[in-house]
Amino acid sequence: MPQPDPVPPEGQPVGETLAHFAVVLAAHRGQISALDGKVGQLADRLGALTEGSPKGPPMIAWHQLDDIQAAAIRADLAKWVEEVLFPAYPSARDSIRDCWLSHADAVTEVSLIWLEFRRIYQADHPLLADSLVFFDRWLPGVLRRVRQITDKCTRMDGCMSTGPG
């Protein structure tokens, strides 16, 4: 956009000087308006990018919870496993045995993927890259470790281990 000369020529009548500054002011207002539009677009794009990867929920410090708090979180976690994880990833049933809630380290492992799942999928626009990493790397690793933990359990009618919290 061509810019008017910001300094009027010397000796110019006052009326012409004011008209000149009005033209300069109008040009600046147009530039500011265009910049506002660009800033708005950048803010929208930045918001969309950050929605997909917020820091997410904090890690659960099981050792800091009392029995009631730990039981409530375990109940939410078990509900997520049954209602979300198993329907979305049925082969997870092969690794997460019925006694998993009785193994503190298995509960910690499953809570890790629960929190990561929430971080990814509670965003308005989940990022494909995060989902791919979750299903390719994080979930299989957790399932492998949980299976190793619960495979050590020999009682099918109930586990002798104690739960977290």
pLDDT of residue 122: 86
Q: Which residue has the higher pLDDT, 90 or 160?
A: 90
Work out the percent of the chain whose per-residue pLDDT is above 70.
Answer: 73
Q: What is the pLDDT of residue 1?
A: 55
Residue 163 has pLDDT above 90, yes or no: no
pTM of the complete model: 0.61
Nearest residue to 159 via CA among 98, 106, 107? 98
**Structure confidence at residue 55 (pLDDT):** 66
- On average, the pLDDT of the chain sits at 80
pLDDT of residue 129: 92
Instruction: State residue 108's pLDDT score.
Output: 94
Lowest-confidence range among 53-62, 67-76, 131-140, 155-164?
Answer: 155-164
Mean pLDDT of 115-135: 90
What integer pLDDT is reported at residue 104 of this predicted model? 92
DSSP string, the chain: -PPPPSSPPTT--HHHHHHHHHHHHHHHHHHHHHHHHHHHHHHHHHHHHHHTS---SPPP-GGG--HHHHHHHHHHHHHHIIIIIHHH-GGGGGTS-TTGGG-HHHHHHHHHHHHHHHHHHTSSS--HHHHHHIIIIIHHHHHHHHHHHHHT---SS--SS----
pLDDT higher than threshold 80 for residue 131:
yes
pLDDT per residue over 25-83, tens digit each? 778 787 777 777 766 765 655 554 444 445 667 888 888 989 999 999 999 999 999 99
Across 10-14, 39-43, 47-51, 128-132, least confident range: 47-51
